[in-house]
Amino acid sequence: DGARLKALFESFGEVVAASVEKSGVGLVIFADQKAAATAAAELDGLDAFQAGAMRCQRLASSSSDEKPPRRGARSPPVSPVRPPAGNTDDDDAARTAMRARRFGLTPSDAPSPLRFGGPQIDAFRGPSPPPPDVSTTAEDAPPPAGTTESLVGACELMCPQSEIDERVRFKELDAFETPADAHAMDDAALRVAARATAVKKYKRSDAGSVQNVPALVRPPRVLAATFAHLVAHVMATMPLAPQPTADADADDAPIEAYLFLWDRCRAIRKDFILQNYTTGGLVDATVVDVFEKMARFFIAMERRLADHPEWRDGVAHGKHNAESLSETLTALLAFYDMQHKARRTRGAAQPQHAAAPQTSTTTTTTTTPNEAECTAYWILFFLDQDRGAAAGRLLARLAVERPEL
């Protein structure tokens, strides 16, 4: 449907509209011709919806060919990604079409002791499953490299060595990823030391920057380790409650940390997408665990930074945060559905003893540990869209298919 098409294609650029015609052909309209060409090239032949390989063709760019989706088509509850201002890779972010509604959470006036690090972290995060077993089983293992179904990442570092070399050369290591005593190192030593601290930046795929190369893509276990590094070394330093200070530079420190994390989280999500961890593709405990923690981070940042002057006005980082939260929660719901269907299929395939009663495979009592929590976040986030119609449809479906949830 249009929602799944949009969620898949918008990682390549701003999607103005997406719909499925009566003929069964999907129509995706990009705001940028280059993004359309890149998406068509990289997704052609990919089996993203478990319905056979897609055939992607870019239509002529004249305005007469860019017909809108059919009248009455339902808009998906996913918003296009908006980068912060100043990102030279994303200068097209000034466009305002299809902007997400801001996440209208009003922060409490009372200070909160909760932090991302320390003994109180579990109070914020809620119940958390044990660290996922990132070793893939034969059941959920991606196809071998070189097949059309999925790319398999081969980068074993948090940041590809080629990117480290380039950023060291041009003095582009961020303060949050610069090794200790970097000032005393020459470039050769810094390139080695940065392997333990540098984190891959987000880059759009375009004609001059092809990203779907195994050597540049981190596999799921490395992506999970990268996110854990960000939690321990950056998120843990950010108090959830604003701290009283007269230092203007100190007041900007949380925004600077947020922008660094926002960019690196976006790169993590893209590496998952490039390996077909998307709607109708692959899913495992690793991607679910990372996306759940990422969603909690975006929610916490709304509370922490809501009063910052650049959060609502001007650069409006809050809109970028809301869009990232929207995409993350929507992807999570798709992952949960895929896991549920896989469990139901396995249950239906088990042999039944003749004397045992036949049990229905329509529902199952098995849920992912944090599924109810993150589903509730999605419902709250989209509750004001179409007068609650999207949330109502989800609740109605869950009442029939997933009553235990």
Structure tokens at 303: 């509370």
**pLDDT beyond 70 at 20:** yes
Least confident of 49-58, 103-112, 311-320, 366-375: 103-112
CA pair distance 351, 383, nearest whole angstrom: 42
Q: What is the pLDDT of residues 379-402, one digit of tens each?
A: 999 998 888 999 999 999 999 999
Q: What is the mean pLDDT of residues 65-77?
A: 40
**Residue ranges with strand state E in 21-120:** 26-30
Burial readout 44-61 (b: 16 or more C-beta within 10 A, e: otherwise):
eebbbbeeeebebeeeee
**pLDDT beyond 60 at 98:** no
Tell me which residue has tokens 């893939």: 136
**pLDDT beyond 70 at 7:** yes
**pLDDT beyond 80 at 138:** no
CA pair distance 145, 101, nearest whole angstrom: 39
Q: What is the mean pLDDT of residues 152-178?
A: 97
Least confident of 44-58, 85-99, 292-306: 85-99
Q: What is the mean pLDDT of residues 233-259?
A: 77
Identity of the highest mean pLDDT range in 9-13, 30-34, 109-113, 246-250: 30-34
Structure tokens at 116: 């991302």
Provide the residue type at 317 as one letter.
H
Which pTM was predicted?
0.63
Q: Which residue has the higher pLDDT, 6 or 18?
A: 18
**pLDDT beyond 60 at 193:** yes
Residue 290 main-chain phi, psi, to 5 deg? -65, -45
Q: What is the mean pLDDT of residues 43-47?
A: 70
**pLDDT beyond 90 at 239:** no
The answer to whether 303 touches 270, Cβ cutoff 8 Å, is no
- Scanning 196-247, the segments in alpha helix (DSSP H) are 220-233
**pLDDT beyond 60 at 341:** yes
Q: Give the residue among 200, 380, 193 at the shortest CA–CA distance from 298.
A: 380
CA dihedral sign, ordered 179, 180, 184, 185: negative
Q: What is the pLDDT of residues 248-299, one digit of tens each?
A: 555 678 999 999 999 999 999 999 999 999 988 999 999 999 999 999 999 9
Structure tokens at 77: 């509850």
**Average pLDDT value over all residues in the chain:** 76
Residue 38: band (very low, low, confident or very high) from pLDDT cuts 50, 70, 90: confident
- Percentage, residues of the chain above pLDDT 70: 67
Least confident of 85-89, 119-123, 301-305, 316-320: 119-123
Q: What is the mean pLDDT of residues 342-363?
A: 59
Q: Which residue has the higher pLDDT, 9 or 290?
A: 290
Tell me which residue has tokens 């017909």: 67
**pLDDT beyond 80 at 171:** yes
Tell me which residue has tokens 């990442």: 153
Residue 70: band (very low, low, confident or very high) from pLDDT cuts 50, 70, 90: very low
CA pair distance 190, 24, nearest whole angstrom: 53
**pLDDT beyond 50 at 197:** yes
**pLDDT beyond 80 at 246:** no
Query: DSSP letter string over 225-288?
Result: HHHHHHHHHTGGG-BSSPPP-S-HHHHHHHHHHHHHHHHHHHHHHHHHHHTT-STTS---HHHH
CA pair distance 276, 76, nearest whole angstrom: 21
Q: Distances from the Cα of 218 to the Cαs of 48, 50, 202, 275, 291, in angstroms?
A: 19, 23, 13, 9, 16
* pLDDT score of 397: 94
Q: Which residue has the higher pLDDT, 135 or 30?
A: 30
